[in-house]
Structure 1
Amino acid sequence: MTHVRFDHVGFTVADIDRAVAWYTRFLQSEPLAVRKGWDAGYSAEMIGYPGCVIDWAYFALPGDARLELVRYVQPAGATVDMETFRIGNGHLCLTVDDLGAELDRLRDFATLRTPTPVRIPTGPNAGGLGAYVRDPDGITIQLMQAPAAGTAARAVAS
């Protein structure tokens, strides 16, 4: 495959209004667009659900990427097991400047998988910090804080 850039990542949500409110607070930015009752024929054909009707919203992510949230109206959406070890589940990873401060900010409205940042001792992110949080639908978002300058090289060497 020859690809030229990353475009977007999409998540199916149970309630578009709740998801837009949550991601607006989480990302600290308004959506680029929100559409309800989208029933464009090309969408249904591309997705593979004849007669498909969706509600959707787009948010800007760093770079030129976007986050797409989709609620299926027709066919009606169904809940799946959102545990991260389940095959097929994915996650979004964002890098932040101060992971501790972000977890403090998120504590009131996100589900934190760990109460404090976890130090990463080895590998390509050695010396950095990481944490997983979940949105109201159980979608996993990984937050990473890059290691301090020179920390990664020392951690990998040890």
Structure 2
Amino acid sequence: MARLHHMGITVSDMASAVEFYRELTGGEVIGPLEKSGPAVEAATGYPGIVITLSFVSFDEGSTVIELAEYRNGSGERIQPDTGRAGVAHPAIVVDDIDATLARLAERGVRALSQPMTATAGPLEGYRYVYVLGPDDVRVELLQEPHRPTVVHPPSTATH
């Protein structure tokens, strides 16, 4: 059985990225931690690299976003447009998409559209919208569809 352990996002400003994802998820922040040395160089393929890592853990610890700031990396920025091959985005489930958008708007974060509702596929019934996070990373916000509560009649079996 496989499961996603975490999603890593390379950032240019650790403090603003940590604040954004902590505010969005209500998660616990672990870090920052500085990593360097032969093992980090071997794992990343970058000789002499120094990385600052922070982790935002939420959903009772089952979901983690790893934020990595490569302090002496190339400094080149990708174009994080989701229409480009190889670009990824986190999709975060929130309780109330409208309240979340209002809270983010107070911080200057803008949505790319009005929230929409998926009409087919595995997200059918979910409300969704993309916002631009730090470094213009697109972050998808999802609100689960309201499902009626199933009421089971009392059992009439005897024991």
Verify: 1:120 aligned to 2:118, yes or no.
yes
Q: Which amino acid aligns with 2:136?
A: G
Q: Check conservation: 1:54, 1:73, Cα contact below 8 A.
A: yes
CA deviation vs aligned residue, 1:91-147 (integer Å, no higher than 9, x gap):
001112211111111112222111x32122222222221111111211111111112
**How well do the aligned residues superpose, as a CA RMSD in angstroms?**
1.8
Q: Aligned partners of 2:85, 2:2: CA distance in 1, in Å?
A: 27
Tell me how far 1:18 sits from its aligned partner. 2.0
Tell me how far 1:89 sits from its aligned partner. 0.7
Out of 82, 85, 93, the position equivalent to 1:84 is 82
Tell me how far 1:149 sits from its aligned partner. 1.4
Normalising by structure 2, report the TM-score.
Answer: 0.82
Q: Check conservation: 1:9, 1:66, Cα contact below 8 A.
A: yes
Q: Helix, strand or coil: the match of 1:148?
A: coil
Aligned residues: 146
Out of 57, 61, 78, the position equivalent to 1:60 is 57
Q: Helix, strand or coil: the match of 2:69?
A: strand
Normalising by structure 1, report the TM-score.
Answer: 0.82
Structure 1: which 5+ residue stretches go unaligned? 151-158
The structure with the larger Rg is: 2
Identity %: 29
Q: Check conservation: 1:71, 1:77, Cα contact below 8 A.
A: no
> In structure 2, what is the equivalent of residue 46 of structure 1?
43
